[in-house]
């Protein structure tokens, strides 16, 4: 068996010498798949002193010429050493070709890039069962992975980032390693002279900043953290986010919390167990905050909060006082209700 767990892959690839074998790099994080495939090919090219030929193909090229893979794998490098082949966007159609190669392995380096594969997928099963292959899963970075990447990136450039800015940065990253790398590289360039990154810099430069800022407002209000709410709301309004948008987002958020609690009651389950970032489309870094929120609120109090937010939204459209004041007052009232429990 050559199947690695997701948390084992980086340690495995950091080894001094990788075996010349078949590497199936797969998973939903396309950026991480590409990065690890590139690291494997770079390892072999470097280890061979640059004498290893790298041939790169798309799966569509193999579809048009089924014998191409075997020919490349069995043709010695012009510069000596083992053949090295990288195939992108691999599908299950390659399985018969791989079965033929694995039956008489030509001692070639073969790197295959694929999307998410279930345990029953024939391609994944083949790689996991073969003693000549390694299956390397690539899933979206966890919060610990992101913390490590952020620390490694900025420490390597002697750039200081405060804890609050790092926490905000983690909420805007993580769905795709390639996107994460680009965002971190952008921040490194920005901070080359100052050698420092603040929360204001992160808000100005990273991701969907309005969504990040509003999520911080909502989580602070629903958890009852008045100090954080004051800071988050101030940042959101300073950033130019309209108070009406904040109120709409707050209303949708409390409706969502009520939906989770109602579903949990119907199914006889704990509300926290129903929170799934893939199903409900929230960033995974908010999972613990949302679990706290469904513990702090009940259906009755959520219905009352929803009514207050609806009233505030109507008032914001017609009242003479500013929408900022109306939004701030109702969110503080909701947060105060939770903080007193």
297: pLDDT strictly greater than 90: yes
Q: Is 205 left (phi over 0), alpha (psi -120 to 50) or beta?
A: alpha
Q: Which of 42-51, 74-83, 84-93 has the highest mean pLDDT?
A: 84-93
Same domain for 270 and 321, yes or no, is yes
Domain boundary among 78, 111, 137: 137
Distance set, CA 134 to CA 8, 9, 235 (Å) = 12, 10, 47
Same domain for 290 and 185, yes or no, is no
Same domain for 192 and 284, yes or no, is no
Confidence at residue 70, expressed as pLDDT on a 0 to 100 scale = 92
301: pLDDT strictly greater than 70: yes
Assign residue 113 the CATH number of its domain: 3.40.50.300
Buried b (16+ CB within 10 A) or exposed e, 188-208: eeebeeeeebebebbbebbbe
pLDDT tens, residue by residue, 242-280: 888 999 999 999 999 999 999 999 999 999 998 887 677
Per-residue pLDDT band at 320 (split at 50, 70, 90) = low
331: pLDDT strictly greater than 90: yes
As a dihedral over the C-alpha atoms of residue 223, residue 225, residue 229, residue 231, rounded to 10 degrees, the angle is -140
Per-residue pLDDT band at 86 (split at 50, 70, 90) = very high
| Residue 96 domain boundaries | 6-137
Same domain for 332 and 215, yes or no, is yes
Domain boundary among 122, 137, 152: 137
Same domain for 10 and 133, yes or no, is yes
Confidence at residue 206, expressed as pLDDT on a 0 to 100 scale = 66
Confidence at residue 255, expressed as pLDDT on a 0 to 100 scale = 95
Confidence at residue 49, expressed as pLDDT on a 0 to 100 scale = 52
Residue with tokens 């000596």: 80
Same domain for 149 and 132, yes or no, is no
50: pLDDT strictly greater than 60: no
Confidence at residue 113, expressed as pLDDT on a 0 to 100 scale = 96
Assign residue 265 the CATH number of its domain: 1.20.272.10
Q: In the chain, how many domains are there?
A: 3
Structure tokens at 243: 């108070």
- Cβ proximity of 118 and 26 under 8 Å: no
Same domain for 125 and 148, yes or no, is no
1: pLDDT strictly greater than 60: no
Domain boundary among 177, 205, 233: 205
Structure tokens at 173: 């990253």
Q: Is 9 left (phi over 0), alpha (psi -120 to 50) or beta?
A: alpha
- The whole-angstrom distance between residue 329's C-alpha and the CA centroid of its chain comes to 34
Confidence at residue 231, expressed as pLDDT on a 0 to 100 scale = 86
Residue 147 lies in a domain: yes
How far the first Cα of the chain sits from its last, in Å, is: 53
Residue 285 lies in a domain: yes
Confidence at residue 52, expressed as pLDDT on a 0 to 100 scale = 59
Per-residue pLDDT band at 107 (split at 50, 70, 90) = confident
Average pLDDT, the chain: 87
SS3 41: helix
Per-residue pLDDT band at 110 (split at 50, 70, 90) = very high
What's the average model confidence in pLDDT over 65-91?
A: 86
- Cβ proximity of 216 and 210 under 8 Å: no
SS3 209: helix
Between residues 37 and 145, which one has the greater pLDDT?
37
pLDDT tens, residue by residue, 147-204: 899 999 999 999 999 888 888 788 777 767 887 888 898 899 999 999 999 887 887 7
Confidence at residue 303, expressed as pLDDT on a 0 to 100 scale = 95
What's the average model confidence in pLDDT over 84-92?
A: 93
Same domain for 120 and 201, yes or no, is no
């Amino acid at each position: 068996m050559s199947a690695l767990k997701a948390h084992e892959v980086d340690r495995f690839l950091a080894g001094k010498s990788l075996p010349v074998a078949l590497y199936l790099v797969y998973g939903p994080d396309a950026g991480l798949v590409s990065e690890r495939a590139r690291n494997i090919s770079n390892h072999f090219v470097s280890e061979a002193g640059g004498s290893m030929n790298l041939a790169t193909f798309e799966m569509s090229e193999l579809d048009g010429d089924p014998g191409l893979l075997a020919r490349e794998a069995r043709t010695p490098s012009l510069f000596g050493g083992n053949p090295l082949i990288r195939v992108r966007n691999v599908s299950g159609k390659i399985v018969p070709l791989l079965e033929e190669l694995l039956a008489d392995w030509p001692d070639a380096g073969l790197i295959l890039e694929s999307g998410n594969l279930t345990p029953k997928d024939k391609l994944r099963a083949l790689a996991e069962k073969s003693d000549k292959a390694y299956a390397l899963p690539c899933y979206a970075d966890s919060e610990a992975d992101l913390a490590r990447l952020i620390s490694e990136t900025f420490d390597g450039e002697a750039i200081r980032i405060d804890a609050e800015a790092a926490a905000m940065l983690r909420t805007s990253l993580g769905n795709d390693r390639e996107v994460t790398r680009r965002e971190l590289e952008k921040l490194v360039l920005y901070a080359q002279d100052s050698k420092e990154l603040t929360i204001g810099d992160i808000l100005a430069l990273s991701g969907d900043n309005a969504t990040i800022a509003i999520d911080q407002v909502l989580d602070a209000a629903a958890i009852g953290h008045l100090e954080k709410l004051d800071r988050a709301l101030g940042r959101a309004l300073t950033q130019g986010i309209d108070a009406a948008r904040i109120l709409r987002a707050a209303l949708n958020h409390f409706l969502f919390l009520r939906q989770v609690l109602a579903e949990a009651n119907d199914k006889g389950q704990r509300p926290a167990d129903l929170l799934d970032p893939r199903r409900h489309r929230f960033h995974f870094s908010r999972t613990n905050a949302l679990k706290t929120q469904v513990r702090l609120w009940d259906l009755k109090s959520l219905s009352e909060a929803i009514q207050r937010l609806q009233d505030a939204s109507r008032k914001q459209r017609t009242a003479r006082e500013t929408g900022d004041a109306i939004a701030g007052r109702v969110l503080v009232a909701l947060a105060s209700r939770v903080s007193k429990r």
